Amino acid sequence: MKTVISISLGASSQDFEFTANFLGRRLRVCRLGTDGSMARAVKLVKKWDSQASAIGLGLVKDSYSLGARDFIERDGLRLRQAARQAPVTTGERLADIFLEWAVRHAQTELGHYFDNANVLFFSGMAQHKLAMTMSEYTPNLFFADPLLQLGVPKLLTSLDALQLYASGAHHVADWAPPRLVPQALMKRWSEWVLRKALHKATVVVAPVHELDRFGLEELAGKTVITATVNDKRIAQFKDRGVHLVIDGSPVMQGHVLGSDLLDAMILAATGKAPDDLLEDDYLEIVAGLQSQPRLIYPNGYKRTNRFAFVIHPLSQEYFKVVKPIEMLSQVSPPVFMDSLEKLMAYAPPFVYSRVEGIRSPTGVEAEGWLISVGGTPKEIMSRSPEFTYRRLLAAAETARRLGAQIMGLGAFTKVVGDAGVTVAKRSPLPITTGNSYSASAALWAAHDAVLRMGLLPPPQGKERVKFKAMVVGATGAIGSACARLLVRAAEEVTLVSPETAKLLALKASILQETPDARLTLASRADTHIAEMDMVVTATSGAGKKVLDIMKVKPGCVITDVARPLDLPPEEVAKRPDVLVIESGEIQLPGEVRMKNIGLPKGVVYACLAETIVLALEGRFENFTVGRAIEWHKVREIYQLGLKHGMRLAAISGVNGVITDADMDRVRELALAARAPRRVPVKRARAPAKATPATPPVAPSPRRPRRR
């Protein structure tokens, strides 16, 4: 029986021994730790040199290549020179294979897991091949080589910088601290930089023993890529809140084998010298092990995907929440606020809020950032599309640096120019406008409101509900999708738009999908509005009057999905017998934490909800872009929303949330307005009689007519 020894600079408490049949040979396998003592490691190598068939050197770098340069580690060279007879290996080639395989396996198995992740390498020089692999999925790579090798409190932020550092051409290689800075302070400074980098990272690549000194604050929520993670290490990672550990090391007889030990076992079993092992040999042997990289969830399955969403102020009033501006606005003339509004349109994007606590019933979580651009709708619409494109691309670059995997466009930014097509082509991240979910949520809210109002007879079986609906702005992105949805539920739908040719084309397209749909076309809403039970306004009129609310039928449900609203509060106040709702608000699942965006806690606009749904589903792709909304995407995003726990929020109007009492009040006023008025009839006086008249009998009260 041959003996294989692994001599590691790691902890001796991790030692083990077993025997196994491997590649047709009976092997005695033993792991010996030296607790970081190089002198003891040298003695053990000399001791086992004549007894072992092969020796593995654990936690020791032999040599590695970076570009055209080769680097030799002194510790590895010293230990190798201590052996005279037995073949010695650090398992570097095998380690590179296992780690790269582990990363590619996780990316495929978990679906785009590393897309745009922030990855911190403790040593980019030692893990250069893995860094090259990771660069296929994300440009956000950070290397702590200067910090850990030279004590320089700086990180390398790209593969190019790593190449320059390795060649000695990077400026940090010659960096020297100021003379007045004590060495102890420099050490604490470097430690602070490393801990801060850990805190910001999504993924950490490091030898497992180098993470022992970090705790919950640095490792909570992280993905750790490492090797030889045993049960004790897993328990430690659990206590420190690590989400996922990716370990490519194989397990044999309950023991996790380091690449050096497995490589030594291969040498002993095959009888080959280290240089005689080819890549094909490794490929055949690793495939024969029938094992896969391990994906370990110390705290149970948990995945957190990341998103970003662009917001902007809807008016000058939004600037007044900033304290200095609030004070100035009270004493400054209107021209000051007008100038400020123009100036803010040029402001660089900034993070308005972090969004946390979103948790799907599937167990997937999402976190993200609300990134503000300073242009109000007035400023956005008054400038060229290219101006807005530049603002959005700057926001996308900010989102990329933060680690977002998809970005959504909000409100007016999604209707400027080609509605996201150009931004999606030029952005470093996938883009969605949210229009698919906005269309779906619009009808979701309207349907819920109509049922709660109780003014329409319920449908019998599969027949359509007996009501008439109108879509104002039917040829727009959201309006056309609303029309396609409504014709499947309403008895008759009126499509309103000043774009006559588009209306005709839309009608033909809808009839191809729904041949029995009853459609009426109009260029103005007022022509048929008095007959409607439901009206959806989806224009981009930027505050222009699109309908006369005084002509609307009592009890009509108006769903206003335009931003800014087509019906301002003063218009709504004229008709207390009409229910006007703002459609599109979605309640997010989980305990959501973010700054106020003008909606109740945990409630967001549908365009933001679409971005979050795609993040939860791991669909990092350009989903809704352009002005033509695809019907199947409207249906798909609705179903995905239900899957991830999205639900319609409490219906809100221009003055806030509409309560049951508010809805009952509208219903009572509508019933009263619909009731036929009794007009008094003038009666001719009867001729006077000589006899006294009989006292008139009071008529019996009439019961109100049931409706």
Query: pTM, whole model, 2 decimals?
Result: 0.80
For the chain, how big is the Rg over CA atoms in Å?
A: 35
Q: What is the pLDDT of residue 686?
A: 53
Predicted pLDDT of residue 325: 46
- Which pLDDT score, from 0 to 100, does residue 639 have? 94
Q: What is the DSSP letter of 181?
A: S
Q: What is the mean pLDDT of residues 673-686?
A: 66
Q: Which of 335-339, 352-356, 508-512, 598-602 has the lowest mean pLDDT?
A: 335-339
Choose the weakest-confidence range: 10-24, 51-65, 114-128: 51-65
Highest mean pLDDT among 180-194, 335-349, 390-404: 390-404
Separation between Cα atoms, residue 587 and residue 605, nearest integer Å: 9
Residue 680, φ and ψ in degrees, nearest 5: -65, 135
Quick one: what percent of the chain has pLDDT higher than 70? 84
Residue 530 is classified by DSSP as G
Residue scoring higher pLDDT (432 or 311): 432
Can you give the pLDDT at residue 677? 66
pLDDT at 383 over 90: no
Tens digit of pLDDT for each residue in 410-452?
866 666 778 889 999 999 999 999 988 988 888 888 888 888 8
Q: What is the pLDDT of residues 316-351, one digit of tens each?
A: 455 445 544 444 445 455 655 566 666 667 778 889
**pLDDT value for 699:** 39
Mean confidence (pLDDT) of the chain: 85
Instruction: Give the per-residue pLDDT at 214.
Output: 95
Say whether pLDDT at 705 is over 50.
no
What are the tens digits of pLDDT across the range 248-298?
A: 899 999 899 999 999 999 999 999 998 899 989 999 998 888 888 999 999
Buried b (16+ CB within 10 A) or exposed e, 460-477: eeeebbebbbbbbbbbbb
Q: What is the pLDDT of residue 328?
A: 46
- In the prediction, which pLDDT does 702 show? 39
State mean pLDDT over 73-80: 76
Mean local confidence (pLDDT), 5-34: 93
Predicted local distance difference test score (pLDDT) of residue 155? 94
Residue 626: what pLDDT? 85
User: In sequence order, which residues have a C-beta less than 8 Å from that of residue 453 and are 6 or more positions away?
Assistant: 555, 557, 579, 663, 666, 667, 670
**Order of all β-strands in the sheet with 534-537:** 519-522, 490-496, 465-472, 534-537, 557-560, 579-582, 652-653, 656-657
Write down the pLDDT at residue 634.
87
